[in-house]
Amino acid sequence: MTQGTLDNTQQLNTFWRILSISKEEVLPEASSALISDLLAYPVHTIWTAQQESSARQTLSFFKTCQHIKKDGMRYHDFYKGFSISGSAAVIGIFPYLAGAKCSIALFGDNHIGQLMQGPFSQIFAAPINVPAMRLIELEQASISSTNNLFKQLSAANKAKKIWLNEGVCGFYRGALPHVFINSVSDALGFWMRARILSYYTEGQKKQVMPQLLATWFSFGTAYAATTPFAIAETRLRIHEINPAAFPDKTFFSSMRTLCQRGGLFRGALASGLYGMVSSLPIACEAVVSPN
């Protein structure tokens, strides 16, 4: 066996070692994904309600809470559609973290590798997360007072309606904007997190608090900064609940309408909070992973 073959084999083994998940990591990562989703889900419900409200009725985070409670919404209704989200979070966290590791394995732990963690993690998790998010946002949007086409349908019937009308492709409507926007948000989050953690020693990087603080600040800031793109993508996804109010069918037309009507940072607080809480599994993985 030549030296080149040995080097290639060694590199391949190193690559798979980085991507591998030990038995000790499975339970903490799955648990952290479920806990973070449990905390983040009502925030995302409020976010969706903010975007679903009319352009003439721009609601703040707290006013949105009051508004949807006045419509007779009970506290457990903040978790409408959580069964879909929780299942997708537990299953999707493993390809998501594998994608982030893959970027570092390919490009190295440098600026490029850290920025590419966003696209890689989103692409790896997209087959699970995209259809789940489609149904989740339809469920969340149906809590509002808007007279929409999906309001009286259960999650299963919403899925059935999409299947009958659009086929399997209907579940992936808005997939490219979803992956692109979340790739940008996560790229910024991973990169800022790495910059903050560079000020800590290797031993401190394995501690809980430095990881939590660096991850929460980085991803919260990144998600708040990319709010305009997330709004356009959300409005595109909930187009069918009220076509008259949301006529745009493409991401660029949705962005154009948003710029014309204003409200580019409507829901920035909710977006930032969601980014903070949903990034908990990333901090957990860094603490429990032996790599």
pLDDT at 145: 44
What tokens does 167 get? 């086929």
pLDDT tens-digit map of 128-150: 998 888 777 666 655 554 444 44
Per-residue pLDDT reduced to its tens digit, 205-257:
889 899 999 999 999 999 999 988 888 777 776 666 666 666 677 777 777 77
Tens-place pLDDT, residues 147-173: 444 454 566 777 777 777 777 777 787
Two structure tokens written together for 31: 């648990």
In sequence order, which residues have a C-beta less than 8 Å from that of residue 288 and are 6 or more positions away?
Answer: 24, 25, 28, 29
Token pair recorded at residue 205: 């990087």
Q: What is the pLDDT of residues 62-102, one digit of tens each?
A: 666 666 665 555 666 677 778 888 889 999 999 999 999 99
C-alpha closest to that of 243 among 158, 152, 146: 146
The tokens for 262 are: 């204003």
Count of C-beta atoms within a 10 Å radius of residue 210? 20
Architecture, CATH, for domain 25-288? Alpha/alpha barrel (1.50)
Q: In one letter, which amino acid is 178?
A: H
Q: Report the 10 Å Cβ neighbour count for 215.
A: 26
**Nearest of 173, 174, 188 to residue 121 by alpha carbon:** 188
Quick one: pLDDT at residue 16?
62
